[in-house]
Structure 1
Amino acid sequence: MKSLFSEQTLIPFLEQFDFSLVLRADSPQYTILVVSDQAEQLLGYQRAQLVGKSLTDGFSNAPIDPIGNASFQQTLVAVIRDRQPRTLPTYEQPSSTGTGSIYLKKVLKPIVDTHQQVAYVLVTTVDITQQVLAQQAAEQSEQRLRAVIRQAPVAIALYRMPDMVLELANERMLALWNKSAAIIGSPLADIVTSDELQDIQPIVKAVFTSGIPYYGTHFPSTVQPDDPGAGPFFDLVYSPVRDCHNTTTSVLSIITDITQQVLASQALKASEQRLQGLIDESPMAIAVYKGRDMTIELANEAMLFIWGKSASVIGQPLATALPELQGQPFLKQLDDVYTTGIAYHAREAPATLQVDEKLVTSHFNFTYKPLVDATGEVYAILNVAIDVEESVMNRWHLQESEDRYRQLAAQLEERVQQRTQELDAMNEVLRRSNENLEQFAYIASHDLQEPLRKIQQFGDLLLNQYQEQLGTGVDYLQRMQLAAWRMSTLIRELLSFSRISTSNHQHWDQQVALGALIASIEDDLSVAIQESGTVIESDTLPTVQGDELQLRQLFQNLLSNAIKFRRPGVVPHIRLVCAIVSAEQLPGNTVPVSREGQFYCIDVRDNGIGFDEKYLDRIFQAFQRLHTKQQYQGTGIGLAICEKVVANHGGAIRASSQPGQGATFSIYLPVNDPRQPATVRLH
């Protein structure tokens, strides 16, 4: 037999590889030519004892290694005959390190010469111990899983995808379907009804496709009870099952019967509702505080009445809902009860609570009783209280002498006088501050106006005497005078705004006839009205109490704005509409300063250019303009003055508009005395 290389050349070449053995195909000897290092280390072969020997002589005493048995030689003959590789079955043998067994697999590969005849056979030994052990562990894990599934207290089924073939189902799942184990291996479509399949199939396929588990409750069952209102109720989970390649192969279904829990929950809820009804109707004040922070879990109407609070405090910690308890003993007493589990009782204990925005001290008989859970731990405190203020006060009145009354009266009078003096002093300080501010505003405006008048006068002289010499400088001079005029106007507006802001209400007792006031304003604006052709119509307007100068400035600013911001080519039309509205009829975002029950609503409507309502929060702010001074002259203070005047009179002002559709300014003035402010003023 001739080969491409001589054996002297081939053998050193093959020794470089991890083949276990190299056999010459010289049947029946099959001479061993190469024993690799891997074979010595893994299999314990001895190179010196094997090389050059026949296969039979070399492995006559190897009962475990398949090379020593007849089946190996039969495989060897087949490899040489068919010139195709063959793999022997996996076998187990002791490890060469003496630490247990290893699992091996032998592969025989032929090497052909130039005549296409098998000249040598390479025997490779592969250590597959880890794969075998992993497979065994997986099989054991699967067996344990199947045992767990069979014994699980919930209904479990496994569907092989994508055909949804039932691969596994425990007894609870079979009982739920009212089927026997014979259905295992059947498609789900053959197990459930068509209606149930329509519910289940999309879920299972979605889990298989997305790999995302599905969780559901109250899933329908094939087992229908006699009383449909009594269940059954289920928690349901569909979860993907992946193989070693992280590919979803199956979907696991777990169905838990929660009928008893749901029914128990319903019964508990009904019981709680009955208890809540009893507590709400109880004449005693009752509350429950949960946790160490004493979160208000429950409070009946009687307790809320004592607190002077609405049901909105439920869910808040007691110290947050009733901050006035800080510095009083109750929070400390509650914490002690929560810590010790010992109830606390008190009689005629004083408590100061903020009721109707006033701190009120009353006396109560009350009990703090700890509520414990199933483990005996305190989780909440029940508070039952009775208002005994009337009986306590009656007893005190009987016990106190007339001297005590006189003493209390004297002390009260002293405190009232002291407080009155303090208020008088504060009012005096405020009056002086306003006077100083007014004086400062007047002096500042006068000092600022003087240089502006000089600028305008000298500008006029330059224009009158040197206009030809100035040439193009005339334009700059005119711009300078226009800027000086705008600055002068701004200073006057600022002075007006300052005076209105610091108004001391000296003239609020004036009876101002708004109809006559509007007629006077029309006369003041007669030039602008005639030039623009403005038409002004007005309902009969009421007489209100207030400051005539401020009200004049209010309506004059609104009317002049309506004339100024007119649409080109459209005759300005202004209409004043008046109606009486109650406080409840005011727009939701309108918060008047006065607490009167009725208001005059006076709408000033025009057909001018209008504006976008997204600027509503800007138009009443000082120096805020929606147009450039080149488009429309003005200082941006007019509407700020309007808002201040209305606020000074206890009312409110609102605006509504659309671009190109005119604007409406709604003024709300109290029907009665505007000097009676609300308890809380909101901006």
Structure 2
Amino acid sequence: MLATYMLTGQLHTAIQHANIFQTMFEELPVGVALTDQNGRIIYSNKKFSIITGLGRDVLKSNPIDDIVGTDEHGKSVTRLFKESNKQQLDFCNWQLMRGDEKIPVALTINKLSQFLCFTATDNSAHLETLTQNNRELDRSNQELSQYAYVASHDLQEPLRKIRIFSDILGSNSKIPAKDKFIVQKISTAAERMNLLITDLLNYSKLVKQDSEYEAVDLQQVLEDVLVDFEVTIQERQASIQCCDLPSIHAVRLQMNQLFFNLLSNSLKFVKAGTRPRISIEAIPISHEDAGKYLRKTQAFSNYYDIVVTDNGIGFETQFSEQIFEVFKRLHGRDVYPGSGIGLSLCRRIAENHNGYLFAESKVGQGTKFHLIVPDKQQQTPSLTE
């Protein structure tokens, strides 16, 4: 009698716990479904029904693969899970079909003894918030670029007058040497300001970019840039070595600007009395290697690592990211002139081509700039996507 009473009490407690568990399971803010070993749904909660748009009676005993669909390669979630040989598998952006509509969900699969547990979170609201934030960011970037463009244009006219009048004063033979020195300082400062304004204009144009991609022969772009540096190369007895560079889908003017800035750096930041040695090569790389630097890779593209190597003064590894910041300088402008925008422009151009630019360097041992870039593009260039 006592044993029966104890069993009845234990059973009552177990039922209570089961009811509590079921209530919690039912009210979870994420969709949950349990399947048997064959992938058929044996239980699902209210949120899972809402996310899939299907009633419990429809869900029960149906294969989970028929409910959540397949990936872009036609593989089902259960197949992907089995192939992974893991106890848990996560899909951050799974496209679940709800009627004719694709619903972005975060999908997680866990193996629980003889069952599979599928957890789904509807990302639609998050995606809408992200889209709205991107729109606002796009608007802010456009306003900022417009301001920089207008401000730079407005600065050019008074700067032009300063340069003209300082040149007139400097050419006047009646001015004392001390005053001529001051005029020369004014002229030098005006030249620096002109360089800064030009680079600011180029930077703002990148954000406003509305050009289309076209087939661009990077070898030809490099040869055109080398012509621009012809005098400097001869004066410094620089050695330039280049392997054949590929043709890619790009904005020609931006690629010209990128190579111009990188070569300018390599020719500029060289120890006094040292002949610059620069090499440029394009190395085909796998999607896996490209993915180490890019947020995502494009299946329809081949990828290249375009490497510009020099024997310059180099820099400490800790500055490998700071050199790409706007106005960031590692050296005084009196020693190495420049606006401090050039490398920022280069990284922007790389990103505008769904690529990435980074540098490797050691003090006194030169620098390697790596441009990771695809050979094909899909969308109109935009820095605000």
State the match for 1:595 in structure 2: 298
Query: How many Å apart are 1:353 and its aligned residue?
Result: 8.9
Partner of 1:498: 204
Aligned length: 293
Instruction: Report the TM-score, using the length of structure 2 for normalisation.
Output: 0.65
Is the Cα–Cα contact under 8 Å of residues 290 and 297 in structure 2 kept in the other structure?
A: no
| 1:568 aligned counterpart, secondary structure | coil
How far did residue 520 of structure 1 move? 0.4
Partner of 2:223: 519
Letter in 1 for 2:245: L
2:150 alignment partner AA: I
Alignment partners' CA distance in 1, 2:21 and 2:192? 62
1:477 corresponding residue in structure 2: 183
User: Which residue pairs with 2:85 in the alignment?
Assistant: none
Bigger relative contact order, structure 1 or 2, given CA contacts below 8 A and separation 6+? 2
Cα offset for 1:480?
1.2
SS at match of 2:166: helix
Q: CA deviation at 1:656?
A: 0.4
Partner of 1:460: 167
2:318 to 597, 605, 614: 614
Change (3 A) 1:650 1:325: farther
> 2:195 aligned with 1:489, yes or no?
yes
Indicate the residue corresponding to 1:507 in structure 2. Answer: 212
Q: Counterpart amino acid of 2:198?
A: R
Q: Distance in 2 between matches of 1:542 and 1:392?
A: 45
Alpha-carbon distance between aligned partners in 1 of 2:66 and 2:278, rounded to the nearest angstrom: 66
Kept in 2, the 8 Å contact 1:562–1:574? The answer is yes
Structure 2 vs 1, CA of residues 390 and 446 (structure 1 numbering), >3 Å: closer, same or farther? closer
Q: TM-score, normalised by structure 1?
A: 0.38
Looking at structure 2, the residues matched to 654 and 571 of structure 1 have their Cα atoms a distance apart, in angstroms, of 24
Label 1:488 to 1:391 Cα distance change in 2 as closer, same or farther (>3 A): closer
What amino acid is aligned across from residue 627 of structure 1 in structure 2? H
* Residues in 2 aligned to 1:453 and 1:293: alpha-carbon distance in whole angstroms: 77
2:48 to 336, 352, 359: 352
Q: 1:361 to 1:666 in 2, by over 3 A?
A: farther
Structure 1 pair 436–364 and aligned structure 2 pair: CA distance change class (3 A): same
Residues 387-432 of structure 1, C-alpha deviation per residue, up to 9 Å, x if partnerless? 5568899xxxxxxxxxxxxxx98xxxxxxxxxxxxxxx99999999
Choose from 12, 23, 29 the match for 1:326.
29
1:64-120, CA deviations, whole angstroms, 9 ceiling, x for partnerless residues?
Answer: xxxxxxxxxxxxxxxxxxxxxxxxxxxxxxxxxxxxxxxxxxxxxxxxxxxxxxxxx
Matching residue's letter, 1:591:
L
**8 A contact 1:600–1:671 mirrored in 2:** yes
The whole-number CA distance in structure 2 between the counterparts of 1:448 and 1:392 is: 62
Partner amino acid, structure 2, of 1:502: K
Change (3 A) 1:587 1:479: farther
Q: Which aligned pairs between 1:107-186 and structure 2 lie closer than 5 A?
A: none
Give the direction of change, closer, same or farther, for the CA distance of 1:602–1:364 in structure 2 (3 Å limit).
farther
Gaps (5+ residues) in structure 2? 1-16, 33-41, 69-98, 101-131
Q: Matched residue of 2:189: which SS?
A: helix
Instruction: Determine the C-alpha separation between the residues in 2 that align with 1:391 and 1:613.
Output: 52
- Give the share of equivalent positions with the same residue, in percent: 33
RMSD: 4.1
Whether 1:671 aligns to 2:375 is: yes
**SS where residue 171 of structure 2 aligns?**
helix
Contact 1:578–1:600 (8 Å) recurs in 2: yes
Match for 1:470: what amino acid? P
CA-to-partner distance for each residue in 1:654-681, whole Å, 9 max, x for gaps?
A: 110111111000101113225399xxx9
Contact 2:52 2:67 in 1 (8 A): no
Unaligned runs of 5+ in 1: 1-288, 295-316, 331-345, 366-384, 394-407, 410-424
User: Which of structures 1 and 2 has the bigger CA Rg?
Assistant: 1
The 5-angstrom pairing of residues 213-612 of structure 1 reads 325-326=28-29, 351-352=47-48, 360=52, 440-465=147-172, 467-504=173-210, 506-508=211-213, 510-586=214-290, 588=292, 590-592=293-295, 594-596=297-299, 598-612=302-316
